[in-house]
Amino acid sequence: MDDNKPNQTVIEAEVPMGTVHPAALEPYRVRLFVEDEIVRDAEITVGVNHRGVERIMEGLPVEKANSLTEKICGICSNSHIWNSCLVGEKALDIEVPERAQYIRIIMEELERLHSHCLYLAHGNEVLGHGTFSMRLFYIRETVMDLLGMIGGNRVQYGASILGGVRPRCELDDNRIQQLKDGMDLMEERLTAFADRFVSDPMIMSRITNVGVISQEDAIRLACTGPTLRATGVKKDLRTEMKEYEPFDFEVITQDGGDVKSQLLVRVFEIPESIKIIRQAIRDLPEGPITNRSWEMKDTPLTKSYIEVPRGTLYHSYALEDGRVRHCVIRTPSMANIGAMQHACIGHHITDAQLSIVQCDPCFTCTDRAIQIIKI
């Protein structure tokens, strides 16, 4: 044994946290292995929330299965139902009207706005900054009202259906005006917040060089989404999706890979989303919003990847007699768990939860693994 190994760590104790913990919000268990108060190893237990959505989807009619995917996650519900519809549309060769595409994009970007606001609010709560957290919840209400206005429900709005969007989500002039006003309000409030946030010396000293994920590690651990972009990799699936082709936006990257970069990537992605929504409202084509002329048939396994607020979302299923078979869903947080565990290591235990939260975990999305218990 070489005693002078640089990476040698001594684990003195284990601090388990969860499944009920204020910094976590969601039920998950994290075991932190500490030396003094420095985290030397971490283990996040996935599976606490396992409800077996894929199993329930198995054998359901495809329309029902689509709306069930929305119940996987209450934050990015639109992403799930959109991607699930995309799988069905790809398999059944359904052409989606252009206006429906635009409305879907508007919903998706509104969702990204509220998801990022929630992420920043949660991040600030874990930082201990209650004022900013409340401010962000306040800003987020604007988007929630818009989503409630369009979809009829504040959380699960079920905009997409096979072949278009639900008639409820049609955008008339009144709604478009409200959207425009809402976006102006959001931009004004968020710009003021972002200026204040970036120039706060105490917050910046607290989050700089904490929870660092290097670019090599991020690629090795297969991170996706903003977590990957915060390490300097310019990869956003939106640039490759044909739905996003008409829109002009920038892919935001930061170089640090620490909590600061992670937070700033989200802060700067919010204006891009507002930009996309504005373009979509401006260029909103006329026409129908649903295509009902399609026929059910048996299809082989079809898959679809889209970029959602947290990263790359994968849905796939085959169709038999109009029913869903072999359904597999892979959510972005699943890919980021490795990074969360990695980011905790070497930092103070107060920063450990922050290092987990920085990757924007959504364990209700993630939990489809089953833990094997030693008997």
Partner 1 sequence: MNITYSLIGVIGTLVVAFIVSLLLPGIERKFIHARIQQRVGPPITSPGIMAPIKFFFKQTISPNSPMPGLYNSLPLISLIVIMVLLVILIPEMYFLGAFASVIAIVGLLKVEEIMYMFMGSLSKSILSVRMPFPDMAKGAKHPETPRTFLEELSTLRAFRLIAFGSFPVYIALFVSVAVTGSIYLADIVAYQQQNGPILFTVAGALGAVVFFIGYMILLNEYPFAILKTKADVIEGPYLEYAAKYRSYVYLTRGFLMFVLATLFATLFLGIAPNILNPSFIITLVVALLFPMIMGVMSAFSPIFTYKQFYPTVAAVSILGVLAIVAAFL
Partner 2 sequence: MSLKSYSRGRAVHVMLVYTGGCNGCDIEIVNCILSPKFDAEQYKVFLTWNPREADVLVVTGPVTKYNEGPLREIYQAIPEPKAVVAAGACALMGGVYKNCHGDIPSEEIAGPVDQIIPVDAKVPGCAVRPQDIVAGLVSALPLLLNAE
Task: Assess whether the previous peptide bond of 9 is cis (omega < 30° from 0).
Answer: no
Q: Report how far residue 128's alpha carbon sits from residue 52's, in angstroms, rounded to the nearest whole number.
A: 35
Q: Which of 9, 26, 31, 251 binds partner 2 (CB under 8 A)?
A: 26
Q: Which is nearer to partner 1, 130 or 322 (CB)?
A: 130
| 51 makes contact with partner 2 (CB under 8 A) | yes
Contacts by residues 168-175 (CB-CB < 8 Å, ≥ 24 positions apart): 169/103, 169/107, 169/289, 170/103, 170/289, 171/103, 171/106, 171/281, 171/284, 175/149, 175/150
Q: Which of 67, 124, 231, 364 binds partner 1 (CB under 8 A)?
A: 124
Handedness of CA 243, 246, 249, 250 (dihedral sign): positive
- In whole angstroms, the minimum distance from the beta carbon of 372 to partner 1 comes to 5
Q: Which is nearer to partner 1, 19 or 290 (CB)?
A: 19
Residue 320 φ then ψ, to 5° = -135, 120
Which of 52, 64, 169, 55 is closest to 107 using CA atoms?
Answer: 169
Task: Spell out, one character per residue from 14 to 53, where the chain touches partner 1: x when CB under 8 A holds, - when not.
Answer: xxxxxxxxxx-----x-x-x--xx---x-x-x--x-----
| 101 makes contact with partner 1 (CB under 8 A) | no
DSSP at 61: B
List, in sequence order, the alpha helices (H) in 42-172: 53-57, 62-69, 77-92, 98-127, 130-151
Site for partner 2 in 135-164 (CB under 8 A): 135, 137-138, 140-141, 144, 153-156
Q: Which of 87, 100, 218, 354 binds partner 1 (CB under 8 A)?
A: 354
- In whole angstroms, the minimum distance from the beta carbon of 72 to partner 2 comes to 6
Q: Report how far residue 19's alpha carbon sits from residue 36's, in angstroms, rounded to the nearest whole number.
A: 23
Q: Which of 56, 135, 194, 310 binds partner 1 (CB under 8 A)?
A: 135
Give the interface with partner 2 as residue ranges (CB under 8 A).
19-22, 25-27, 47-53, 55-56, 59, 68, 71-75, 77, 118, 121, 125, 133-135, 137-138, 140-141, 144, 153-156, 362, 364, 367
